[in-house]
A and B are shown apart, each in its own frame.
Chain A
Amino acid sequence: EVQLVESGGGLVQPGRSLRLSCAASGFTFDDYAMHWVRQAPGKGLEWVSGISWNSGSIGYADSVKGRFTISRDNAKNSLYLQMNSLRAEDTALYYCAKDKGLRFLEWLLDYWGQGTLVTVSS
């Protein structure tokens, strides 16, 4: 069974940093691209960032480019999101999601974690 468990969320002041983690199990992690998607309270879904199976291809939404960094450690079956210079508008539930494509970026999300909440406020 595929499981994705996010952690690292919390309350942080504007301008500070936070690092999210996603622990994956139930599939061959290093065969699949991974993504972060966020959802502000009461709002829709926004793709944040994605990384290919071998970290060779990485993409960011314009809203986070230059502030957020996605990475993965295939030996630890883990995905990360380093978030710097946080703003109030980054407040959201952050989901980790698996890409459906086997060893290519299909940009289609077939499994999602339950999310970790990030609140940016003074």
Chain B
Amino acid sequence: EIVLTQSPGTLSLSPGERATLSCRASQSVSSSYLAWYQQKPGQAPRLLIYGASSRATGIPDRFSGSGSGTDFTLTISRLEPEDFAVYYCQQYGSSPRGFTFGPGTKVDIK
């Protein structure tokens, strides 16, 4: 089972700043099957990025994903007020045994 670690646990930034979130896997993620989700308080998660770098439908281009192997990054180029949320990474497509999420990174207002 692949274990995902996210850092930092909390990121305190101001609107307009750049956010860089990290997700590290305990073993290589095949074919870059790595996704990112955003969850705002009281809301369901929303798919942001899949395939490590492809934006999901309707996701603004200030969100970008990169990485391969065991190290992945989600970057928010300029934080908007609605971007303050918790972000989870997830590996997928690897086996019929299911999948796990990372523990999450909370981006809050400084």
> Which A residues form the contact surface with B (CB < 8 A)?
37, 44-47, 49-50, 57, 59-61, 95, 100, 105-115
Contact = CB atoms under 8 A, between A and B. Distances in A.
16 contacts: A37-B45, A45-B101, A47-B100, A50-B98, A59-B96, A59-B97, A59-B98, A100-B47, A105-B96, A107-B99, A108-B47, A108-B93, A109-B37, A109-B45, A110-B56, A113-B44
B88 interface: yes
Contacts of A37: 45
Contacts, number: 62
Given A44-B104, A45-B101, A109-B47, 7 more contacts: A50-B98, A59-B96, A108-B92, A109-B37, A109-B45, A112-B44, A114-B44
A47 B104 contact: no
A21 to B, nearest CB: 17
Interface of B is mostly: loop
Contacts of B99: 47, 107
B98 A61 contact: yes
Contacts of A95: 44-45
Q: In terms of DSSP, what is the predominant structure of the interface of chain A?
A: strand
B62 interface: no
Interface of B: 33, 35, 37, 39, 43-47, 50, 56-57, 88, 90, 92-94, 96-104
Contact of A106 (B39, B44, B92): B92
The 9 closest A-B pairs by CB, nearest first: A107-B92, A112-B44, A45-B101, A59-B98, A108-B92, A110-B47, A107-B99, A44-B104, A44-B103
Contacts of B44: 95, 112-115
Counting chain A CB atoms within 10 Å of each CB, the highest count among B35, B39, B97, B98 belongs to B98
